[in-house]
Structure 1
Amino acid sequence: MRLRVATAALVLPTALVVPVVGGVVVAGPAVAAEEDCSAIQEEAPAESTVATRESRPLELMRIREAHEYLRERDVDPGEGATVAVLDSGVSQRGGVRVTEAVTATGRSDLADYHGTAVAGLIAGAPRSPEKPVGIAPAAEILDVRVYDSTEDGGVSAAGLAAGLRHVLRRGGVDVVNISLRVERDDDVEQLVEDLWDAGTIVVAAAGNRPDEDEVPLGPLFASPEPGQDAANHVFPAGYERVVAVSATAEGLPDADESDASAFVLPNTQTDVAAPVVGAVSVALNGGTCTLDAVATSWAAAEVSGVLALLRSLHPDATPGQLVSRLLSTADGRPDVPSPLTGAGVVQPLDALRRPVSPARDGSLDRTTERRDVRAVPPEPEPDTMAGPRREAVWWGLLGGGAVLLALVLRPLLARRAPGR
């Protein structure tokens, strides 16, 4: 299957179509929003949709501080990084830097908001310096449309493979975002390996809790049960060379923020998690909109944005080094990963600024906490001559005392001697 620039006559095959649970079909309840991204049509005036709230996930991840840290080093957040969004297509309105758009479908219009929302989370232009939208606004977006809408059957493994082949042939892509799920496929797995070898990091959604009647995951994962593991059911997140991302429930009313299992799938392939509730993104009409559901699609997009920030600061780092920096600075335990959060919730500011210690193979497998060294005296060095010096002092004192005693007693002894 070949991808064509702009509109193509080629339609994705439907034989391998499966439901998408990485966020296209959003699981979990949503709270009231000013302008929900899914409800805005492409033809609506952009000025009619303006999200006024702060993006809660960006506040939790301290993205403004991360941007300030980069700008202090003369780095525009995301500059020099290219992120491919393999999704339902990206609107070129609203300030997202779409440098190339390719499609394997027959439609020219955008039928689904999902790809635009994903791209907006990654690289949406800020509403003002105090109100960022995208995590890496200076990053360039490669729009690779691999499906039109879930109503048209969603994405297939063959369609996703076609998109990955285009990215591989094009080259120069730092991150590939896949906020989708397909069946396990040998071609997709090999393409993921090839992209990693070419210097590209693939990020994918770890999976949402499906509805009961959603085939094929519904019967297995419709409700939380002890011992559940979606690692062998959600792809490409299940492949070894993929950064699999889950979402937290933080910020959702009446939800236990420590347990998002009602909304996302436990997955032992999960690498990290990100907060998503209350996010601000870009709508199909170029305005700004809000996302209030717990969906791993949005979390994957945020982590893709964080990796773009890391790439802008470390242009010569390998994919393994960037991923190691991401995992080792998360707020959990990389050595004891959780099936819901992996190494923990991503910490972009720490990932950017924390000193790291490279291993012998060049990977960054551990980081070093910063220490407060203000007014701390240096540790004294061990004195190997302390013992002999103490003995010498004592012998000196004894010898000096004997001489002094002799001088004091000499006159007395002289008077008692017999006269001449």
Structure 2
Amino acid sequence: MRHLATALAAAALSLAVPAPAPAAAGAGLAGVVGAAEPTGPDCPSVTEDYADQLTVGGSNAANERLQVPQAQEAARALSGKKAGAGVTVVVVDTPFSSPDAAQPGTSSGHGLAAAGIIGGRDQAAPVRVDVGIAPEATVLSESFYTAPASQRSDGEVVPMASGLATKLERIADQRSGAYRGRLVVLVPTQVPHSAALEKQVARLVASGALVVAASGDRPEAGTFPEQLADDKVGEDAAGIVWPAAAPGVLAVGVADPSAGTVLRSSRIDLAAPGAGAVSRGLNGGWCTLTTPSTHWAAAQVAAVAALVWSAHPDEDAATLTRRLEQTASGSGGRTSAVTGYGVVQPVEAVQRRIDTAPVPDADPMTPARPPREQADVLAGAREDAVWWGLGGGAALVVLIVLRPLLSRRR
């Protein structure tokens, strides 16, 4: 009874405690309240001759939620260099000329939008809007297709595993040349598995490059992975979407996938907003990314990785990965099929000291162990009650047997 009373008192006290106040700066995605969502043309819909609107309004809500300005200042204070300095980010996607300019004649701005998230120039007027997360990083294009599969038309190349493998092989071949040093390879799209692709991803990881990939968006009819077009209970895209499925690749999901536009996967390592960002369009102007997508989230994580790496230039890619995972907003383990270790936290990743030993990563598909048997706090009382019951029952039997004898004596 004493234990039961204590538990009821504790429960009553917990109900009386007011809800916690919003987290202070540094707490991550949920710690910034009231960020004004950007307004303006949607980047994927902007074409080269789109001249109706070249600027955006509001602010880069995704950058504010990730506290990018604070992280940029923290990186500069730590290293004396601007965010991204000394790091090369290769965007393996549709072609672009720079993070601010499309390649002439390009019909898709997918790669340019990803590049703008990393190193796009800030908008100065009519209102100032921050754009690039790692503006001093060297952002280069390695194109392996010209149009997304959903926009297939005559003469255009769509993303294929074979084309991606060929491009990654070219990058791996130049690790001692043009792509030497701190290298982030971003693949903000999704293709099926192939043996050649698996081989080239492994080469890049072994070379010391950090490979970041989208964990997968829900496909349109007739596009990859078509078997996951319908949202089903128990869905798991792990092993299906490449190169996110490859060992050593940092697979990225979306922080808030409630829109249903992304796939669930036990392979996800980290998450980022994936929407609410500002980038660059094919028309040379600024544009918005409003639909949650693992493609944009992967670009955000690649940009954060470049920012953090510039602040910790002596670390290798494996240590950088542990830094990003250990400072994410989750509980310390990759337990979520949508956010992995949690939402990436740039400020924490720059400033916190981390455990440099590799973190054991349990197979997320392994069934959890059954809960440990709890101590039975009422066992003693229950045993006493049994004995009291037996004793009382025996006494009652004795009284029933003796009752006629006692009555005759009276």
Q: Is TM > 0.5 for Structure 1 vs Structure 2?
A: yes
Q: Deviations over 1:321-370 (max 9, x none)?
A: 000000111111342421111001111110110112333xxx5889xxxx
In structure 2, the residue matched to 1:227 is: 234
**Residue 92 of structure 1, aligned match among 98, 112, 121:** 98
Aligned ranges 1:245-284 → 2 under 5 Å: 245-249=252-256, 260=258, 262-284=260-282
CA distance in 1, matches of 2:280, 2:98: 10
In structure 2, the residue matched to 1:66 is: 71
**Residue 214 of structure 1, aligned match among 222, 243, 264:** 222
CA distance in 1, matches of 2:223, 2:106: 26
2:193 corresponds to 1:187: no
Asked if structure 2 preserves the Cα contact closer than 8 Å seen for 1:91 and 1:284, the reply is: no
CA distance in 1, matches of 2:147, 2:300: 22
2:140 corresponds to 1:136: no
In structure 2, the residue matched to 1:124 is: 120
Q: CA deviation at 1:59?
A: 0.7
CA distance in 1, matches of 2:223, 2:99: 35
Aligned ranges 1:255-404 → 2 under 5 Å: 260=258, 262-359=260-357, 363=358
Q: Deviations over 1:101-127 (max 9, x none)?
A: 9xxxxxx62110101000001111222
**Residue 109 of structure 1, aligned match among 105, 123, 145:** 105
Asked if structure 2 preserves the Cα contact closer than 8 Å seen for 1:161 and 1:187, the reply is: yes
**Identity score, percent:** 34
* Aligned CA distance change for structure 1 residues 120 and 365 (closer, same or farther; 3 Å): farther
CA distance in 2, matches of 1:143, 1:223: 33
Higher strand fraction: Structure 1 or Structure 2? 1
In structure 1, the residue matched to 2:60 is: 55
CA distance in 2, matches of 1:185, 1:223: 24
Q: Which amino acid aligns with 2:231?
A: P
Q: CA deviation at 1:130?
A: 6.2
* Aligned CA distance change for structure 1 residues 93 and 141 (closer, same or farther; 3 Å): closer
Q: Deviations over 1:123-147 (max 9, x none)?
A: 1122259632011011001210111
2:202 corresponds to 1:202: no
In structure 2, the residue matched to 1:159 is: 163
CA distance in 2, matches of 1:80, 1:93: 16
TM-score by length of 2: 0.71
CA distance in 1, matches of 2:99, 2:351: 33
Q: Which runs of 5+ in 2 are unaligned?
A: 1-36, 362-410
2:183 corresponds to 1:174: yes
Asked if structure 1 preserves the Cα contact closer than 8 Å seen for 2:99 and 2:116, the reply is: no
Q: Which runs of 5+ in 1 are unaligned?
A: 1-30, 102-107, 250-258, 367-420
Q: CA deviation at 1:210?
A: 2.2
Higher helix fraction: Structure 1 or Structure 2? 2
Asked if structure 2 preserves the Cα contact closer than 8 Å seen for 1:328 and 1:365, the reply is: no
CA distance in 2, matches of 1:32, 1:140: 26
